Amino acid sequence: MTAALAGVRDDGLPLVDGFPIEPPERAQFDFWLGSWRVRHLVGSEVDGTNEVCWTLDGRVLWEQFAAGTDPFTGWSFSVPVAGRGWVQTWVDNAGGYLDFVGGWCGDRMVLERGTGKATPTHQRMTWHSITDRGFVWDWAARTGRFANWNVVWRLRYERL
């Protein structure tokens, strides 16, 4: 269940830490397109690859992630939705399913979700420090809507 971010504007777009996201546009995720080597900076050991491309007539951003010797694999599908922001669905070979909403905020892309349980955990993905050669991706979590974010994983993406 996707929980609302820290608020919603009158036009239906979410707020990230009280700041408005930009209306979703296809070009906002162009920095992510291509082939990537993924390494951990913080958290569990990660050494993997990531392939990201447009599919379904250029309407859906498709991510294919793989890491480890087993390997752990997952796919995400991201779509810009007018009046809602970017939405992403993640599925993986461990049976995981996650759904996110968010958008471009300042110099970063931020997507969030809530677990919807009695004691909700909020999860956030942030793409930041973006250059032509790479970027940093953070997976953060917090318990409670106003608690501090705790970075669980910080991954470095390097263009292949």
Q: Is the pLDDT of residue 124 over 70?
A: yes
Q: What is the pLDDT of residues 23-53, one digit of tens each?
A: 999 999 999 999 999 998 876 778 899 999 9
What does 32-61 look like in DSSP terms, one character per residue?
Answer: G-EEEEEEEEESS--EEEEEEEEETTTTEE
Domain 15-159: what homologous superfamily?
Calycin beta-barrel core domain (2.40.128.20)
Q: What is the pLDDT of residues 17-28, one digit of tens each?
A: 888 899 999 999
